Amino acid sequence: MSGGEVTMRVITYAEAIREAMSQEMRRDEKVFLMGEDIGVYGGAFGVSQGMVREFGSARVRETPISETAFVGAAVGAAVIGMRPIAELMFSDFMSVCWDQIMNQAAKAHFMHGGAVQVPMVIRAASGGGTGAAAEHSQSLENLFCHIPGLKVVIPSTPFDAKGLLVSAIRDNNPVIFLEQKKLYKTTGIVPEKEYVIPLGMADVKRDGKDVSLITYGRMVQMCAEAADKLDAEGISCEIVDLRTLAPLDIGTILSSVKKTRRCVVVQEAPLFSGFGAEIAAQIADSEAFFYLDAPIKRVGGSDSPVPFSAPLEQAAFPTPARIEAQIRATL
């Protein structure tokens, strides 16, 4: 953090993201925001409220309802030296501009022999729990992690959201910045001054000795609820918040597993072929495997489209009770 007095406030996850963008736009005139309804309306989830009044419509740029067009424009702007932040209302809509992300943004630096950089951020609301149904509730982070050239970030707290977004905006590579919708109204202590959290560094949100819970996004809170309950019984859970999925902080994961000798991996996305399988494979293919006293367990969403019905939607995602059950199984 910068020197001098640091003002600490409690603000929301959405406010922390807005503050990161505003601070970076004041610091660097090359940074601008583009997307649907981000100006006067303030964004689908209110993240950009008030920004157009400060920065004007040239830097808080309303776009047509065409993710293909404006994400492609962001790639072009980044290649010529700007630092665009493209907001997609829902991460599901990345399927519309998948070619721009996968074949253009991710590959331009490599295919041009390093002659160009692509310093752009794609922000998108991700995940379920809000009754937005099957086409607006998916967790697609594993798709982006599979594409070399993309960095993938999923912050779980307001503090992390601000620091990680500043790092993402300053990065010279394309960054997919996923904001899980259920987190927008959550609150936390965030310094008013500028600070950065480096990409690729996990955070141990809770120290423990009996089992490692490896997770990210809103599942961090779910794991904390399960850990609180088990703590009363003398079961100590360590919670590792990945924060950045690509690049992945393997070292912190393995250190935690070697310490506790048990591991439960938790993701909101469907369990089958999800990012948690990669974590389990990384552990199994390392020296940490020989420290394990029990098989690695995984908790994830159901292998189905996300239902609109509130009870069915709740049943489709991990809960503290399901996480607790897998912790008990591994113990």
Strand ranges in the chain using DSSP code E only, listed in sequence order: 8-12, 31-35, 60-62, 83-88, 121-126, 151-153, 175-180, 187-191, 203-206, 211-215, 237-241, 244-246, 263-270, 297-301
Strands 297-301, 263-270: pairing kind: parallel
Tally of helices (H runs) and strands (E runs) in the chain: 12, 14
Concatenating the DSSP letter of every residue in 78-124 gives HHTT-EEEEEES-GGGGGTTHHIIIIIITTHHHHTTTS-----EEEE
Question: Do residues 191 and 218 touch, judged by C-beta distance below 8 A?
Answer: no
Q: Which DSSP state fits 138?
A: -
φ, ψ of residue 85 in degrees (nearest 5): -115, 115
Token representation of residue 218: 């809103």
109 flagged as catalytic: no
Cβ-Cβ contacts under 8 Å for 231 (sequence gap 6 or more)? 237
Q: Which of 109, 112, 136, 146 is catalytic?
A: 136
* Burial class, 268, CB count within 10 angstroms (exposed 0-12 / middle 13-18 / buried 19+): buried
Residues found in the chain? 331
Residues 6+ apart with CB under 8 A from 170: 24, 119, 196
Closest CA to 118 of 130, 127, 109: 109
Distance CA 47, CA 308 (A): 24
Tell me the catalytic residues. Answer: 136
